[in-house]
Amino acid sequence: MIEREKANGKVRTNVTIADVALRAGCSKTTISRYLNGKFEFMSAESKERIAAVIEEMNYRPNNLARSLKSSRSRLIGVIMADISNPFSSILVKGIGDACAAAGYHVMIANMDNDPVREKEYILSMLDQQVDGLILNTTCSNNEFLQEMADRRVPMVLVDRAIEPAIFDVVKTNDFQATLDLLQYVAEQGFGKVGFFSQPVGNIGPRLNRRKAYRQMCDGRLKQAPQEYAVEISQPEAVKEQVRDFLQRNGEEKKFIFTANGVAMLSLLHAINELGLRIPEDVGIGGFDDWSWASLVGPGITTIAQPSYDVGAKSVERLLLRIQRGGKAKPKTFELPNKLILRGSSQL
Amino acid sequence: MIEREKANGKVRTNVTIADVALRAGCSKTTISRYLNGKFEFMSAESKERIAAVIEEMNYRPNNLARSLKSSRSRLIGVIMADISNPFSSILVKGIGDACAAAGYHVMIANMDNDPVREKEYILSMLDQQVDGLILNTTCSNNEFLQEMADRRVPMVLVDRAIEPAIFDVVKTNDFQATLDLLQYVAEQGFGKVGFFSQPVGNIGPRLNRRKAYRQMCDGRLKQAPQEYAVEISQPEAVKEQVRDFLQRNGEEKKFIFTANGVAMLSLLHAINELGLRIPEDVGIGGFDDWSWASLVGPGITTIAQPSYDVGAKSVERLLLRIQRGGKAKPKTFELPNKLILRGSSQL
DNA sequence: GTGAAAGCGCTAACAT
DNA sequence: ATGTTAGCGCTTTCAC
């Protein structure tokens, strides 16, 4: 470790490109060329000498300076609604792996489904000069996102789309998957299906799944929609909702559809505490297929989302946008879900 | 959006401090003072005018430039062994919240338990001039970490400690928690306890938990240790290990202790597929208490780790180190686990 | 109360 | 094949 006085009297501890140049007996330019792999512009001896000096001095270029100068940071900003949700954490892993493979770093922020924080984080990441953003939006900042689009900020939305489509979106085919599951449930002989979701609000996937549910109610299920807004922080209220759903439908065979994994968990806890048998007293199934789904009761029928792939694909699209600039028309990608049938839906 | 020719002919799209200064009719210095809240150094009118201009031009300072100049990036690097593991993702959430509260950003990398990637990421984050690092180490880079300590890199280890203690560590009291659980299991009348863990290697927590297990074998349990290295990617092998454990212990009451949540999941799948009843055929319990634990079989007895708090605490320590410089003696913090008793351990 | 100027560590246009 | 020079956008010393 080099440590020496600078002109202004401060002690410096970091080796800079100037130090390397001095020691290697050439100019900073040549070192810079070396760092950027432009070996055509130097003799074999220079190249070797520089390599040796860098090794010897343990020199590492300051990426802040590089980014400032070149105005590309090789940094991707990722803003998630809730990173502790397994769907998100696996998605983030997919993003991380894909970025690492492409030589990018990842900055992550967790906004807890708060539109205010979402906006702040976007701006703040842009202040950090990220090259692009991957956003799991709250769907409540559409005007602001429109501004971002106008500014040509490279951005890809994951999981949650907004209208109109102003960015690339990578999501799953949840509408069709919901139809498929409910079709199967109807065929199994369940007479009444309830839709249980965290408050739908304007959140894309929840709207989608509800739309599919309503379509099936009109169609194959031939029932009026029965929709419950699950507050996962209030387990007693959820139990009450389950009781209500059961009473309301008397002798019919009843099935609970959950619009995401968090709701699923919440409902299973309620069912468990109410001492209900699955599927005799009530069937259950829905998003997501988390690792424990086969262990609970007779096994829980689920829709498995390819979260990792959603993450990886979003990076692929984002890098494309970053390279090509943002002019091409936004595209939406729907990755296939998988229906996983287990005992909880078998009468 | 400002857009104008620069001297060199390139088009610029970003508002800089110079643009603001020009418009506000003062120098860059004053603007900089304003940005840094040094209002004592300017008239009330200047302050107001600057505020207005910034608002009007939609100016946002470039953090890269600020960091380069001030040599603090307000960036924390986080390197996790596996971010998709619930333990880690909740820990990361704790880190993120604490950092956000303190005005720091988080850069995250996922190294998949690979020491080579661990080292690369550490260096790479330092290249990004992070102010400090939070590391969930593989425990296989100790010499390298010693170098980092010598260089006074602010760093805190989470969950996994190394010997000797050269950094602050924030972990859980897993040794004691393991003793407590096994004590309870013995009191319940289980005659033989098997230790099931992913390969222990030199990974701190696994060593700890095994040490506690061995101590109980010598003590209260009065049995020879029976240890199994679980390869979670090979479910058939895991089933075979369970079968082996059962056969080897004949008529005794048998209990499977799992050293972490991933192993727990793997064993529950094996038990499920073997059609074994919990706790009659075999009891089970161990780390971690994930959200589904109460839903499987008669409920799974677990040790709940305060992952979120581990994350938050590690940030607290890191910021201290960053502010105070790295001279103080490294401290280790053990956050309390909670033993959660359920049917899987009740005979 | 305000500003000029130097410089953080690097890159790149333009020499030679 | 190599160097000179002028910045990237900001902070900070020092001067007025």
Is residue A183's pLDDT more than 70?
yes
pLDDT band at B326 (very low <50, low <70, confident <90, very high): low
- Chain B residues with CB-CB distance to A128 below 8 A: 63-64, 75, 105
Decide if B115 contacts A124 (C-beta within 8 A).
no
Q: What integer pLDDT is reported at residue B13 of this predicted model?
A: 64
Is residue A2's pLDDT more than 80?
no
Tokens found for residue A75 = 């940094």
Task: Please name which of A89, A84, A73, A83 lies closest in space to residue A310, comparing C-alpha atoms.
Answer: A89
**Residue B336 has what DSSP assignment?**
P
Average pLDDT over residues B92-112: 94
Average pLDDT over residues B148-153: 92
Q: What integer pLDDT is reported at residue A328 of this predicted model?
A: 85
Distance from CA of B37 to the nearest CA of A (A): 18
Answer whether B127 sits within 8 Å of A67, measured CB to CB: no
Whole-number Å distance between alpha carbons of B1 and A239 = 53
Which residue does chain A place closest to B82, by CA atoms? A93
What tens digit of pLDDT does each residue of B256-266 get?
999 999 999 99
Closest residue (CA to C1') to nucleotide C13 in the complex = B8
Answer whether B127 sits within 8 Å of A60, measured CB to CB: yes
Task: Please name which of B174, B154, B162 lies closest in space to residue B334, comparing C-alpha atoms.
Answer: B174
Answer whether A60 sits within 8 Å of B151, measured CB to CB: no
Decide if A347 contacts A253 (C-beta within 8 A).
yes
Q: What integer pLDDT is reported at residue A11 of this predicted model?
A: 40
CA/C1' separation B282–C13 (Å)? 75
Task: Please name which of B110, B102, B117, B105 lies closest in space to residue B76, comparing C-alpha atoms.
Answer: B105
What tens digit of pLDDT does each residue of B167-193 get?
999 999 999 999 999 999 999 999 999
Instruction: Indicate yes or no: strand D within 7 A of the C-beta of A127.
Output: no
What tens digit of pLDDT does each residue of B155-173 get?
999 999 999 999 999 999 9
Nearest by CB to A127, from B61, B128, B291: name it: B61
Tell me which residues of chain B, numbers 252 to 281, contact chain A at a CB-CB cutoff of 8 Å.
Answer: 265, 268-269, 272
Q: What integer pLDDT is reported at residue A3 of this predicted model?
A: 40
CA/C1' separation A66–C9 (Å)? 8
What tens digit of pLDDT does each residue of A129-172 get?
999 999 999 999 999 999 999 999 999 999 999 999 999 999 99
Give nucleotides in strand C with any atom < 7 A to a protein C-beta: 1-13
What tens digit of pLDDT does each residue of A73-109 get?
999 999 999 999 999 999 999 999 999 999 999 999 9
Q: Which nucleotide is nearest to A21 (CA to C1')?
A: D3
What integer best gives the mean pLDDT of chain A? 93
Closest residue (CA to C1') to nucleotide D2 in the complex = A30
Q: What angle do CA A175, A179, A163 make, to 5 degrees?
A: 20
Tell me which residues of chain A, numbers 284 to 303, contact chain B at a CB-CB cutoff of 8 Å.
Answer: 290-292, 294-297
Average pLDDT over residues A174-178: 98
A149/B contact by beta carbon, under 8 A = no
Q: What integer pLDDT is reported at residue B126 of this predicted model?
A: 95
Is residue B201's pLDDT more than 80?
yes
Higher pLDDT, A331 or B327: A331
Q: Using a 7 Å CB cutoff, list residues 3-42 of B near strand D.
A: 6-8, 12, 14, 16-18, 28-29, 31-33, 35-36
B318/A contact by beta carbon, under 8 A = no
A73/B contact by beta carbon, under 8 A = yes
- Chain A residues with CB-CB distance to B123 below 8 A: 60
Q: What integer pLDDT is reported at residue A84 of this predicted model?
A: 92
Answer whether A86 sits within 8 Å of B86, measured CB to CB: yes
Q: What amino acid occupies position B128?
A: Q
What tens digit of pLDDT does each residue of A24-45 get?
999 999 999 999 999 998 999 9
Q: What integer pLDDT is reported at residue A327 of this predicted model?
A: 74
Whole-number Å distance between alpha carbons of A304 and A262 = 14
CA/C1' separation B69–C15 (Å)? 30
pLDDT band at B8 (very low <50, low <70, confident <90, very high): very low
Q: What angle do CA B158, A123, B8 make, to 5 degrees?
A: 115
Closest residue (CA to C1') to nucleotide D12 in the complex = B29
Decide if A223 contacts A186 (C-beta within 8 A).
no
Phi (first) and psi of residue B305, to 5 degrees = -95, 140
Most confident of A3-12, B299-308, B321-330: B299-308
Instruction: Indicate yes or no: strand D within 7 A of the C-beta of B340.
Output: no
Tokens found for residue B162 = 């190394």
Tell me how crowded residue B249 is: count the other CB atoms within 10 A of its CB.
Answer: 18
Spell B211-224 as b/e; 16+ CB within 10 A means b.
ebbebbbeeebebe
Average pLDDT over residues A201-227: 97
CA/C1' separation B29–D16 (Å)? 15
CA/C1' separation A152–C11 (Å)? 25
Is residue A10's pLDDT more than 70?
no
Whole-number Å distance between alpha carbons of B49 and B42 = 11
Q: What integer pLDDT is reported at residue A4 of this predicted model?
A: 42
Q: Which nucleotide is nearest to A68 (CA to C1')?
A: D8
pLDDT band at B3 (very low <50, low <70, confident <90, very high): very low
What tens digit of pLDDT does each residue of B32-53 get?
999 999 999 899 999 999 999 9
CA/C1' separation B7–D9 (Å)? 16
Alpha carbon B261 to its chain centroid, in Å, reads: 15
A116/B contact by beta carbon, under 8 A = no
Phi (first) and psi of residue A231, to 5 degrees = -100, 105
Average pLDDT over residues B79-100: 95
pLDDT > 90: percent of chain A: 92
- Chain A residues with CB-CB distance to B125 below 8 A: 105
Instruction: Indicate yes or no: strand D within 7 A of the C-beta of A68.
Output: yes
Task: Please name which of A153, A329, A74, A154 lies closest in space to residue B1, comparing C-alpha atoms.
Answer: A153
Q: What integer pLDDT is reported at residue A1 of this predicted model?
A: 32
